[in-house]
A and B are shown apart, each in its own frame.
Chain A
Amino acid sequence: MMRERTVNGIVLAGLWLIPLTAWLMGAPFTITLATKVAILALAGVGLNLALGIGGLVSLGHAAFFGIGGYAMGVLASHAQAFDPILTAPFEWSGTKSMPVIWLFAIVAGALAALVIGALSLRTSGVYFIMVTLAFGQMFYYFAISWPAYGGEDGLSIYVRNGFPGLNTLDPIQFFAICAVVLMAVLWLVSRIVASPFGLALNAARQSEARVRAVGLEPYRLRLIAFVISGAITGLAGALFADLNRFVSPVMFSWQMSGELIVFVILGGVGRLFGPVVGAALFVTLEHWLGGLSDYWHIYLGVLLLLVVLFARGGIVGALARRDGHD
């Protein structure tokens, strides 16, 4: 057994070395796959804060992923058509700037999570799963029936949005942006988990009564965690839309929520790097097995079953013992 930090270091090294090698060898598609891993991992890291630490099994995180995607789609589609999104108090035709889009994606994801969380956190267990699923489906059908932004067909953005000082059309540069964002968020989440708030959130998952007895309200802790989680997943959605230069209601689908849960479970529930490993494995399997058979999900299912049955801590849990906590 390795230390969890060692495993995390290896994962991070792999995340950077594989696309850099591909870049040197002139294999842009591999870089794109690595970018997809970084973005999906980011969404998974967001979910993991709610699910892994908070114990909130949300089957509606696609809502935040989709909101981030549409934040990008709406802002960029106006910008590319020079079609004002605002006329008063000033005229504004959206933006093609990633940092501004991210800000909107984060705020929109957080606000949606605040509303969805405030209502669904009044329930727990299977009811919580169902309520979050219902909210996710509401967003899905809303997106489908919103003709102004493509409805069922989605929205195409012709040129990837820009980042000051970088050429985002170059795959390795866009990868670097996504990987740096992922690392920044991993650092932030690790700080939150180690903070007094994180300690209390983690304890509330294990014993609500204990947390109340020391004067803390589990609902409040969970709502804050859910909002941060939604903001992170929203940011990931904006990046995902930029990767594909395309947004569609599929980002809101419950299958998307399910995939995020699969990343977390495969990699290791509550483990900082769990979603990174889970997303990497998922994208790799999708690529390799998807080339062999359209029914590659069968193999994914077998793997998921094995992990759930024999490695409750996911792949990170199977490789690493938990690190000390001081």
Chain B
Amino acid sequence: MTDVLSVRGITKRFGALVASDDVTLTLRAGEIHAVIGPNGAGKSTLIQQICGALRPDAGTVHLMGRDVTDLRVADRARAGMGRTFQVSALAMEDSVAQNVVLGAVGARGARPGMFRRAMADRGLRDRAAAALDRVGLADAAQMRVAELSHGQRRQLEVAVAMTLAPTAFVMDEPMAGLGGEGSKDMTALLDRLRAEAPILLVEHDMDAVFALADRISVLVSGRIVATGTVAEIRADAGVRDAYLGETP
């Protein structure tokens, strides 16, 4: 079986700093693959290269066997990459419903129509409503994003990505800033989501990672120092030294 997402030999240098050093990792169907690492390990740089915001100096990114290395962010999204942001990137003045409908619009193609009302389009609305329902934001549909709590915004990020019906989710710290209860809800949501598409999860929250991940890759100074199951990573002495020891 082919990997859904495959990152091969990604390297990125900023002057003398090697932000990504020959990173290779894969995302298989049905799994959650977590990427963990200390601050400054190059997680954000890696995710930007996977999503197309940054061009790697070397290496390739394949999505369902297709080379997407030369595609821009929008093209990769249409190719099936559903990403969420570490800092919520949402249309803050718009309503929750408008934000998810935007995702549904994007899912239809690169040329959004100009004459029918977006919010009256049954196809768009159904798709949007289904995503809101899944993340538990159906009641907040008419609220403005600016009025949402931080946790609700994190859920909305995931809902917008879901409207794209992606072949792979790429999530940049979906737990960021969530409290205990929020983290638990998000963990449960991601756990249900893996049936839809596998998730590449870059995350700081170790409880969530250990609860969710099928495999974990540890990134230190731009290099993947270990990849394995939760048990293997927990047992890995090198990883404990490099990372886990610092944040019990």
Contacts and interface: CB of A to CB of B under 8 A. Distances in A.
B63 interface: no
B222 interface: no
Interface in B79-114: 83, 85, 89-95, 97-99, 101-103, 105-110, 112-114
B90 A212 contact: no
B102 A200 contact: yes
Contact of A214 (B51, B72, B105, B121): B105
B111 to A, nearest CB: 8
A200 B120 contact: no
A196 B77 contact: no
A167 interface: no
B113 A206 contact: no
A213 B91 contact: no
B148 to A, nearest CB: 14
B188 interface: no
B98 to A, nearest CB: 6
A195 B114 contact: yes
Contacts of B50: none
Interface string A245-289: 000000000000000000000000000000000000000000000
A210 B90 contact: yes
Given A214-B160, A214-B164, A220-B110, A194 B103 contact: no
Contacts of A210: 89-91, 99, 102, 160
B119 A214 contact: no
**Among A200, A210, A211, residue most surrounded by chain B Cβ atoms (within 10 Å):** A210
B122 interface: no
A213 B76 CA distance: 8
B106 A197 contact: no
Nearest to B142: A324
Given A210-B90, A214-B105, A326 B77 contact: no
A206 B89 CA distance: 9
A215 interface: yes
Question: At the interface, is chain A mostly helix, strand, loop or mixed?
Answer: helix
B78 interface: yes
Contact of B114 (A192, A214, A217): A192
Contacts of B90: 206-207, 210
Interface residues of A, number: 27
A195 B113 contact: yes
A305 B106 CA distance: 39
Interface residues of B, number: 45
A224 to B, nearest CB: 8
Interface in A189-221: 191-192, 194-200, 202-203, 206-207, 209-217, 220-221
A215 B115 contact: no
Interface string A148-189: 000000000000000000000000000000000000000000
A204 to B, nearest CB: 9
B116 A196 contact: yes
Contacts of B112: 195-197, 199-200, 216, 221
Interface string B109-143: 11011111111110010000000000000000010
A122 interface: no
A221 B110 CA distance: 10
Contact of B117 (A195, A206, A324): A195
Contacts of A207: 89-92
A213 B73 contact: yes
A10 to B, nearest CB: 24
B74 interface: yes
A116 to B, nearest CB: 21
A271 to B, nearest CB: 13
A215 B74 contact: yes
Nearest to B161: A213
A212 B102 CA distance: 11
A215 to B, nearest CB: 4
A206 B106 contact: no
Interface string B211-241: 0000000000000000000000000000000
Contacts of B97: 325-326
Nearest to B77: A215
B116 A212 contact: no
Interface of A: 191-192, 194-200, 202-203, 206-207, 209-217, 220-221, 324-326
22 contacts: A192-B114, A194-B118, A195-B116, A196-B112, A196-B116, A196-B118, A198-B118, A199-B105, A200-B102, A200-B106, A202-B94, A203-B98, A207-B91, A210-B102, A210-B160, A213-B51, A214-B103, A215-B107, A216-B74, A217-B72, A325-B98, A326-B120
Q: Which 7 A-B pairs have the closest CB atoms?
A: A214-B106, A215-B77, A196-B112, A215-B78, A215-B106, A203-B91, A212-B73
